[in-house]
Structure 1
Amino acid sequence: MNSFVRNAPPNCLTNIIAGEQIFIRKGRSWKNEYELNGNANNFSWGTFEYQSRARLIVNQLSLVSISHCFYCDAKWVQYGHIKPEIDHYCPKTKRPFKAYYYPNLFLSCGSCNGYKGNKFSRNLLKFDSPNYSFDDYFFIDFESGKIRVRTDIPIENRYSARYTLTVLGINKDARPETRLEELANFESAANKELQRYNFRYFLERC
């Protein structure tokens, strides 16, 4: 949930085909198809130079967060039980033309992607916004492991913070307990290199 600075988009989205960048060309194609049949399951990342475009995008996004989820900051083992996914910050069914637009693509764990689904409003905080800072909206309850909304901020900011926590499922199910378990692992470990752990924003504020 920390802020981050996005890197340049990969070539598989920006190369020029017939005078247009790929993300524009494919975005228009998807928009036309979705408006025609309304079936989001027909969406495909496709390939680029015989490689999976999804994998190329994941690789580029991973450089930003060092392979952590852009939302909850879970870190995955590439071939382990957590798989990286690409989430559309603004869903591809609501803004089809942005389906391949790099600033709209977020590296996500399956949990955050599943909780968020097709839900979206302008109140969803965008963690790569230059105006976003975790500490401007949230604080951590280290007793429960939950992320809480600050009460001393403007009401519209409180609403955005609450909406973001709800949509991403940040405090749902066993997620708070998982953060506390990671904190215990971190505190007892000899190697405290932060990038090795889940929930870096949580650990660095303990």
Structure 2
Amino acid sequence: MYAFHRSQCPAYLTDCWERLGRHYETRKRRNQRYRFKWFSEFRYPTTKQKLYEMTQGHCAFCDGGSLGAESRMTLEHFKPKSRKQFYRLAYQWENLYPCCDTCQAQKRDGYDAALLVGDQPGYVFDDYFIVNYITGGLEPNPLVASENQHRADVTIATYGLNLDVRKISRKRELRYYRHRDASVEFIDDFRYRYFLNDA
């Protein structure tokens, strides 16, 4: 999970997200089968683009790149819109993240207050995780507080960050990174930047 800075909420969304959230909450409480939709006022293509710019086109959770090419460009509700206590956050800027298919499929409607995300104030990768360059896996940092280790464990499990296919992909990306042309290829051009940082 790579740290990033969340930009300010666009003015058009500041003007409408609460109203749209209340509308969704009202409809959902009346009828559990009510289907969520992006209203034109939300400006989905524009909003999605702004969110993807925050992470340089990477998934906010696994940091996989090439979203839109190797994976659909989706938006993830960090606090799930399917849960009653979060209905009103369905259109909130701070609750939306660029996400790859795999992370979204693993998390589904899951949520835990211990979950980490890269734009949380003060988030630093090493305060929670270490990388295993032999296996390609992520592990809780054994040198940090038990609460931080727990948060790392919850995040790894919720997003499936140690699926075998992901470990293999990280090791492959590391090989590409070590043989890159450093004059034209920069870390943001690669997936799993947290895995490559100390390589």
Task: Report the TM range for the smaller structure's normalisation.
Answer: over 0.9
Divergent runs of 4+, >3 A: none
Equivalent-residue separation in structure 2 for 1:68 and 1:178 (angstroms): 15
> Do 1:76 and 1:83's aligned partners in 2 also have CA atoms closer than 8 Å?
no
Deviation of 1:77 after TM superposition, in Å, equals 5.0
Deviation of 1:35 after TM superposition, in Å, equals 1.4
Gaps of 5+ in 1: 15-20
9, 34, 37: which one aligns with 2:31 = 37
Deviation of 1:11 after TM superposition, in Å, equals 4.1
59, 63, 80: which one aligns with 1:69 = 59
5 Å-filtered alignment, 1:6-45, equals 6-14=6-14, 21-39=15-33, 42-45=35-38
- Equivalent position SS for 1:86: strand
Equivalent-residue separation in structure 2 for 1:90 and 1:115 (angstroms): 14
Equivalent-residue separation in structure 2 for 1:139 and 1:77 (angstroms): 25
- Equivalent position SS for 2:75: strand
Gaps of 5+ in 2: none
5 Å-filtered alignment, 1:1-206, equals 1-14=1-14, 21-39=15-33, 42-48=35-41, 53-76=43-66, 78=68, 80-94=69-83, 95-190=86-181, 191-206=184-199
- Equivalent position SS for 1:164: helix
Equivalent-residue separation in structure 2 for 1:34 and 1:205 (angstroms): 47
> Do 2:58 and 2:67's aligned partners in 1 also have CA atoms closer than 8 Å?
no
Equivalent-residue separation in structure 1 for 2:98 and 2:107 (angstroms): 13
Equivalent-residue separation in structure 2 for 1:195 and 1:157 (angstroms): 26
Deviations 1:79-122 (A, max 9, x none): x2311110011001220000011011111011111111100010
Equivalent-residue separation in structure 1 for 2:117 and 2:173 (angstroms): 25
AA paired with 1:46? F
TM-score normalized by the length of structure 2? 0.92
Deviation of 1:150 after TM superposition, in Å, equals 1.2
Deviation of 1:192 after TM superposition, in Å, equals 3.1
TM-score normalized by the length of structure 1? 0.89
What is the number of equivalent residue pairs in this alignment?
195
AA paired with 1:205? D
Deviation of 1:157 after TM superposition, in Å, equals 1.6
- Equivalent position SS for 1:178: helix
Deviation of 1:171 after TM superposition, in Å, equals 0.3
Equivalent-residue separation in structure 2 for 1:154 and 1:201 (angstroms): 20
